[in-house]
Structure 1
Amino acid sequence: MKKILLLVFLIFTFLPIAATAEPKENLKATFVRDNLLWLKIKDKDIRITDTGYVRYPKWSFDGSWVAYLKGAKDGDIMDLWLYRVKSNRHFKVKENVGVNFQWSPNENSLGFQVAKNLFSLHTSQLGLFTPIAKDIENFSWLPSGKGFLISTKKSPEFHSDIILSKVLLRKKEKPAVNHLYNVKIGKNEIFASTSEFKWSNDKKWISFLLIPTASLSADGNTLCVLSANGKTFQKMDEMLIESAWFQWAPYNGLLGYVSGIGREATINKRTRVLKVPSMKNVTLTPRGYVDRDLTWQNNRTIIVSRSKENSSEDLSERALPSLYKISLSDNKQTQLTVPSEKDGDFRPEIVKNNLIWIRTDRKNADVMISPTYKSGEMVWIKNINLGSSYYEKWSWDEVFSLYTGR
C-alpha cells in the first residue's frame, strides 16, 4: 500500500503543471480614448489627461512611468511628456519630438529623437537631458541598457552607405562611438534610412529594415539580419514599414515577419519564419489569404491576424481578419476568434498567459482578452481611439500600449 501511495505521489509531483493565466485585474495598459490619455489598472479605466491630443503612449520597463506625445489638436506639433503613475504627475520633456522615443530595457531612462539629434533623459533628473549623437537616421537601446545602436548616412547622397555604430554611455565623459558595420548601398539602390533595431533573445542577432525614400517605402522595405559582432549581414526579404510585423521568437533564433511588397495590407502579405544562422525561411500563410499582424506565443507557436486576400478598390469591402494559431512543429493552423462580419481582430499580444488583441469595425475599437489555454473572450477595454489606417494597415501603437514587463 505504501508503495502504491508513493507511486501516485511521484506521478502527480512530476506531471507538467498547466499554465494559468494571470487574472485580468493584475494586467495594465495605457490607451487613448477621446484623444486623451487613460490607464487600465485592475478593473478601472482612469483618465490621466483632460485636454489636448495624445498619441503613442509607452510604458517604462518597470511600469512606473508612461511617456507620450501631446499636442493641442490633430496635426499640431507634438511635445514629449512623462507621467509618473505613483504620484499622478506630468512632466514636459521637450517640444517638437517625433514618434521615435524609447525606454531603456532595464532602467527608467528615455532615449528620444528631435529631428536627427538623439538625446537621453533619466527620470531622476527630469530637467536634464543629455545630447548623445547628431545626424542620425534611427536608433535603439542596446540590450544592456548601457548605450544605443544608431544608424547614420555616410553622406547626404541617396546612394551613400549607411553606417551602424554603438554609442556607449559614460558617467563623466562624452559617449564613446564604436563602429559596428557599414551597409553598402549599390548604385542602383536608394536607401535613405533604417528602422529601429531588434535583438534576438540570445542577443546574437539584430533585425532591422532598410528604408528607401518615403514614396518607395510605402510599397516596400528591405528586411535585414546582422550578427551582433558585425561579421555576418544578409538582406532577407521585402515588407512594409511596420515595427510589429517583424518579431524574434522568445527563446531561439527564429524571426517571424509579414513579408510582401505593395502598400495594400490585404494583398500579398504572408507570414514567414526565418531561422538563423542558416538563413532559411518558410512561408506559413496559405494561398488566398493574407496575414496582417503577428506575435509569438512560444518557440513553437505563432498567432496571426488573417483575412481572405482581396483587391477590391473599395477598401470597406475588403474582409476584416480573425486570429489564427500556427503550430510550427506540424503546421497545424487553428482559427481562434470568430468576430462578426463587420469586425476584425488585430494586434495580438501575449502577456501572463493571456491573449490580448484589438477588435474594430473601422469606426470603433475595443481591447479584447482571453486566456491562452482555453476558449472564451471578453471586452477588457471598451472604446479606444482608432489608430491611423493606410490601405488597411492599422497603426495601433498610436493609441494602445500593453505593459508586458515584470
Structure 2
Amino acid sequence: MRLKVLLVVFISFLLSMEVSAEAPLTAAFVRDHQLWIKTGDQEIQVTRGRYVLSPKWSYDGRFIAYIDGDEKGEKSDLYIYDTKEKENYQPYQIETSDFKWSPIQNQIAYNSHGVLNVTKMNNGRPMGFENVSLGVSGFEWFPNGREFIVSSQSSLRPTGWGPIPLYKIPVNANLDKNKVEPFYTIVTNENELFGIDADFFKWSHDGKWVAFIVLPTASWSMDSNKLCVISNEGEQFQAVGNMLRNEHWLKWAPSANQLAYISGEGRFLVENKKATIADMPTAIQQKQYTPEGHVDLDLEWYSPNKVIVARAKENKEWNEGPVPTMLTALYTIDLKTEDQRQISRPEKNEYDRQPQSVGRFITWIRSNRKRKDLWMKEGVNGQEYKWIKNIDSAPVFLKR
C-alpha cells in the first residue's frame, strides 16, 4: 500500500513537471494592423477597425497598452485592452507616441507634446491622468517605480547648442518645479560628443547604470549617435561608442553589467555594423565580435555568456540605386569560448531578424520581403518552426 502511495506521488510530481515544462508562451502581436493575442496554439483577435502600433504588456500582464494610429502617421491615440474584462478603452483622450508602463504597478507614464503625465487608477484600471512635468523630451521610470529620469532638449544659442540637462523627477511632482532634481548635465561639443537630445534610456539588471543615446541634429542623427551610460546617482558618466538611432540595438546582460550594442556609423546597413560588448564601469574594455567581411544587424542576450545576432555578409560593392536587403541569419556568440555558429536557416531569399529570448525559447521574424512570420526554437540546438503566420512586426511576450 505504501509503495502504491509513493508511486502515485511520484507520477503526480512527474506530471506537474511536464505541465510546467510545456507551459505555453503568450504574445501580443499585430496582424493587418489589428491587435491579437496568442497563447500556445490559440489566437484571439482583440481589435477591429483600428491601426495598432507598439503594444506593451502591463506590469502584471492584465493590460496591453497600444497606439491607435493611421497610415499617414497623423493620429496617435493611446488605448488599453483589458484582458480580464475583454474590453478596449481609452484611459483618457491621450495623444502620444512615447508611453511606458510602471515597473511596479499598472500605471502608464506618457509624453504628450513635451508634457510628462501618469495615469490615475480607478477600480484597478488605469483611468484619467495627472501632470508630472513640462519640457520633457525623453524619459524612463527608475527601477523603483517612484521617479523618472528625464531629458530636456538643449537650446540653440548664438554660440551654438547648449548642454543637455537630465533630471530626476518624482511621480507625484504634479508640475511642482521644487520637486525637480538636477541629475546630470551632458556637456557637448562638435569634436568629441555632439548632441542636442537624449533618449532610449535602459537600466542595467541591478539598476546601477542606465544606458541611453545622445542624439545630434536630424541629418547627422541618421548616420551616427553616441551611446552613453551614467550611474544611478548621476556621478559617473561615460561615452561608450557610436551607433545608429535604434533602441533595439543596445541591451544589458541579464545578470552582469555588460552592455551589448551594434556599433558603427553610416545609415546604410551594408557595412560597418559590429556586435560589441562593453564592460561597466570601465567602458574602455570593449570587444567587437563580428568577423571581418560581415555585419550584425540585431542582437539579443540568450544567457549570461551567449549573445544572438542577425548576421550577413557585407556589401561594399553597392554605392547607388535601391539599398540592397541584407539577408541575415541568426548566429550565437559564446563570450567565454568566442565560438560562433549559425543557428537559423532561412531560405535563399529570406532573412531572419529581431531575435528575442523568452525563457528557454528563441524567437525571430523571418521575411521574404513580401510577408513576415514569427519563427521559434527551443534552445540553440532545437528544431526551428513557424509559430505565428503573417505578422506585422515583432511581438511582445508576457514575461511570467
What TM-score do the two structures reach when normalised by structure 2?
Answer: 0.88
User: 2:302 maps to which residue?
Assistant: 297
Query: Is 2:370 aligned against 1:363?
Result: yes
Pair 1:83–1:369, CA change in 2 (3 A): same
Q: Which amino acid aligns with 2:353?
A: F
In structure 2, what is the Cα distance between the partners aligned to 1:167 and 1:355?
37
User: 1:194 maps to which residue?
Assistant: 198
User: 1:207 maps to which residue?
Assistant: 211
Pair 1:21–1:288, CA change in 2 (3 A): farther
Structure 2 unaligned regions, length at least 5: 1-16
1:182 to 169, 174, 185: 185
Aligned-pair CA distance for 1:172: 9.3
Note the aligned Cα RMSD (angstroms).
2.3
User: 2:105 maps to which residue?
Assistant: 107
SS of the aligned residue for 1:153 comes to: coil
Pair 1:20–1:112, CA change in 2 (3 A): farther
* Per-residue deviation, residues 34-84 of structure 1 (Å, max 9, x unmatched): 111111123111111110211111111221111111135443311010111
User: 1:54 maps to which residue?
Assistant: 52
Pair 1:180–1:172, CA change in 2 (3 A): closer
SS of the aligned residue for 2:161 comes to: coil
Pair 1:22–1:332, CA change in 2 (3 A): farther
* Per-residue deviation, residues 206-259 of structure 1 (Å, max 9, x unmatched): 110000122111111100111112221111211011111001101111100000
* Per-residue deviation, residues 327-378 of structure 1 (Å, max 9, x unmatched): 0112100100111011111111111210111111111001111001532011
Pair 1:20–1:267, CA change in 2 (3 A): farther
User: 1:86 maps to which residue?
Assistant: 84
- Larger relative contact order, structure 1 or 2 (CA cutoff 8 Å, min sep 6): 1
* Aligned length, in residue pairs: 375
User: 1:97 maps to which residue?
Assistant: 95
- 1:2-401 aligned within 5 A: 26-95=24-93, 97-123=95-121, 124=124, 126-153=126-153, 155-157=155-157, 159-170=161-172, 176-186=179-189, 190-279=194-283, 280-311=285-316, 312=318, 313=320, 315=322, 317-372=324-379, 374-385=381-392, 387=393, 396=394, 400-401=395-396
In structure 1, what is the Cα distance between the partners aligned to 2:20 and 2:302?
15
In structure 2, what is the Cα distance between the partners aligned to 1:64 and 1:79?
20
The answer to whether the Cα contact below 8 Å between 2:198 and 2:215 also exists between their aligned partners in 1 is yes
Pair 1:24–1:337, CA change in 2 (3 A): farther
What TM-score do the two structures reach when normalised by structure 1?
Answer: 0.86
In structure 1, what is the Cα distance between the partners aligned to 2:20 and 2:223?
40
Aligned-pair CA distance for 1:199: 1.2
SS of the aligned residue for 2:49 comes to: coil
Q: Which amino acid aligns with 1:169?
A: V
In structure 2, what is the Cα distance between the partners aligned to 1:366 and 1:316?
23
SS of the aligned residue for 1:244 comes to: helix
The answer to whether the Cα contact below 8 Å between 2:269 and 2:326 also exists between their aligned partners in 1 is no
Structure 1 unaligned regions, length at least 5: 1-18, 388-395
